[in-house]
Structure 1
Amino acid sequence: MTWGWTGVRGTWGGPEAERSMDLMVERLGVTWTAITLSALQDTPQSTQIQFRDRPTVTDDEVRWAIRAAKERGLKVCLKPVVNVRNGTWRAHINFFDIDVPPEPTWSQWFASYTEFIVHHARIAAEEGAEMFCVGCEMVQSDRREAQWRALVADVRAVYPGLVTYNCDKYQEDHVGWWDAVDVISSSGYYPVDDWENQLDRIEKVVAAHGTPFFFMEAGCPSRVGSPALPNDWALHGAPSEQAQVDWYRAAFSACARRDWVRGFMLWDWPARLYDEADAATDGDYCMFGKAAEAVVHAEYTRAR
């Protein structure tokens, strides 16, 4: 399960965060967690990632979260993510392929992004995280193969564990540098009735590389209509626990028939949970106190 998103300063640590992690382990039966934080750049064409500033969690908070997870017997993937302050989805971060003075450039952006990522890779190494994720859903940047390979090399210079990249949904067969990482991962927000088609497509990628695969993200809001478009976090719909249950059952059933799908890092479990009495009226991804909680627990227990 993904824990702590988006990584708001002041929320990682203390009784509420402790309770959140305890309940995640107790209710879901997880064995891994992705400790996931975001840092901001101002616009999709900004070249500075402000990872030392608010609202991003501090290094001490990141260390606390990794240690708290490991104290509970979990394996950890540390996942630093860049977001855009103006609300644009990170997949749209983009620059000219050929440098044009005085326009911002990919090289300027990758310099700042590499500083951000390598900084956290050092923390992952020092705290013994078993996996490190070098990026998440960076669709427009995926084509910058040489720069991603250089970034992975810089990460490996400071971090000895497993390295992965979380590509976006439908992009598994559009990343040309999978051989640079140890594990292929993607965001599995696929429509409830389309899992078989998508798994057939992804299977060809996994077979071609002979590299382990898992879904670094996967989930569905508990809303009417969300199973058909689970990646749309802004979709309007009445709260529906059954909709979320239906999606999880379909996803788990389809993936259980593919032995190359090595697991999930579901989306998501915040550091500060809503009141459990409000679960039925919460239409977001978190399944705390909802019917899907039992579905996840049963699947994870069965899979051990």
Structure 2
Amino acid sequence: MKLPKCLFLLLCCIVQSCTSQPKKINGVSFVASREPISKENVMPVVRVNANFAAVMPFGFIRDLNHPEIKYNTERQWLGETKSGAKQYSVELQKEGIKIMVKPQIWINHGTFTGHIKMTTEANWKLLEISYSKFILEYANLAETLHADIFCIGTELEQFIEHRPAYWSQLILEIKKVYKGKLTYAANWDEFKRTPFWDQLDYIGVDAYFPVSDNKTPTVAECLTKWEVHKPVIHEVSKTYDKPILFTEFGYRSVDYSGKEPWRSDRDMNAVNLEAQANTTEALFKTFWDEAWFAGGFIWKWFHNHDRSGGESDSRFTPQNKPVENLVKAHYGRYK
């Protein structure tokens, strides 16, 4: 019996909806380097089935007593500057990779940015003036590039907690020059208290949640631990009616990778590729099928792919490790 055309098309749509996955932001955090990039540097991003890259220029603060932000200086690497961020973005866009512009702050000696807190009103004002100049310059760049997402800051909990009115006004100023989607990269233990999610498009989370105390976490135990964190994340999404975006996620290929995933200590160097793969697999299984979850940016991806990572490397990058194929497979399901 020949089906009516309308019924046939309906059945095709049902089959397609049952077999295909929802499209997600499958991102890499593209690390700034000394040199410009080319198609050769971008194609490994394409091959891992990524569709987004976070481009991350930097501003520098000498210390918390001198809060002026220095940026676009001759001492910086090319990729840390405005011209480098533009060059990276254009080359990535040529190969169909969408862009999140994500300017970040570095404090000398590695002081955590979440601890940026001034002790005088004069210094607060100096910081605010400096940060506004810094972030609005990159908001203008994001608009010029037609970047899909602009991240207004990364892990700045104390700055936001003590100056909420400034941040609310800053978002209004950003919206005057940038017309795309906005997010903020809140640390994993910060996002529940961020006050301005209603002004943004994505609830951004740097997802370094602890998921295992064991040397080599299993996928099953990580999934169990995510059952604690996931409802909290989902509740914030429901409260603001905004999707969750993991502005950073990932694990080191090291023993105890799931215990304190934010740690980058150099003395943690016992390579454990299975630990990295299992923790990453559990994160994908927990979130990528959820309608309220937008996707994320794996931390981190270097431009010189052939010389990055590898099976003797204990750092975050998935490059040239078993987890790279895992990321490729998962991203491939949600293109």
Q: Which amino acid aligns with 1:224?
A: D
What residue ranges of structure 1 are gaps of 5+ in the alignment? none
Determine if the alignment matches structure 1 residue 95 to structure 2 residue 126. Answer: no
CA distance in 2, matches of 1:152, 1:271: 31
CA distance in 2, matches of 1:154, 1:141: 18
Query: Is contact 2:58–2:81 with CA below 8 Å preserved after alignment?
Result: no
Determine if the alignment matches structure 1 residue 206 to structure 2 residue 237. Answer: yes
In the superposition, the TM-score normalised over structure 2's length comes to 0.82
> Aligned match of 1:183 in 202, 212, 219?
202
| Aligned twin of 2:9 | none
Alignment of 1:100-111 (within 5 A): 104-111=122-129
Alpha-carbon offset, residue 274 of structure 1: 6.0
Between stretches 232-241 and 116-125, larger displacement belongs to 232-241
Alpha-carbon offset, residue 206 of structure 1: 0.8
Q: Which amino acid aligns with 2:183?
A: T
**3-state SS, counterpart of residue 258 of structure 2:** helix
| Aligned twin of 1:239 | 271
CA distance in 2, matches of 1:176, 1:14: 37
What is the aligned-residue RMSD (CA, Å)?
1.7
Which one has a bigger Cα radius of gyration?
Answer: 2
| Aligned twin of 2:20 | none
Query: Is contact 2:56–2:103 with CA below 8 Å preserved after alignment?
Result: yes
Between stretches 218-227 and 254-263, larger displacement belongs to 254-263
> Aligned match of 1:2 in 21, 28, 40?
28
Determine if the alignment matches structure 1 residue 224 to structure 2 residue 245. Answer: no
| Aligned twin of 1:50 | 70
Query: Is contact 2:277–2:323 with CA below 8 Å preserved after alignment?
Result: yes
Alignment of 1:1-304 (within 5 A): 1-5=27-31, 7-8=32-33, 10-11=34-35, 13-14=36-37, 18-26=39-47, 28-53=48-73, 54-55=75-76, 57-96=80-119, 99=121, 104-143=122-161, 144-192=163-211, 193=222, 194-234=225-265, 236-256=268-288, 258-273=290-305, 275=307, 279-304=310-335
Alpha-carbon offset, residue 44 of structure 1: 2.6
CA distance in 2, matches of 1:180, 1:45: 30
In the superposition, the TM-score normalised over structure 1's length comes to 0.91
CA distance in 1, matches of 2:114, 2:280: 25
**3-state SS, counterpart of residue 64 of structure 2:** coil
| Aligned twin of 2:214 | none
What residue ranges of structure 2 are gaps of 5+ in the alignment? 1-26, 212-221
Using a 3 Å threshold, how does the CA distance of structure 1 residues 273 and 85 change in structure 2: closer, same or farther? Answer: farther
* Identical aligned residues as a percent: 24
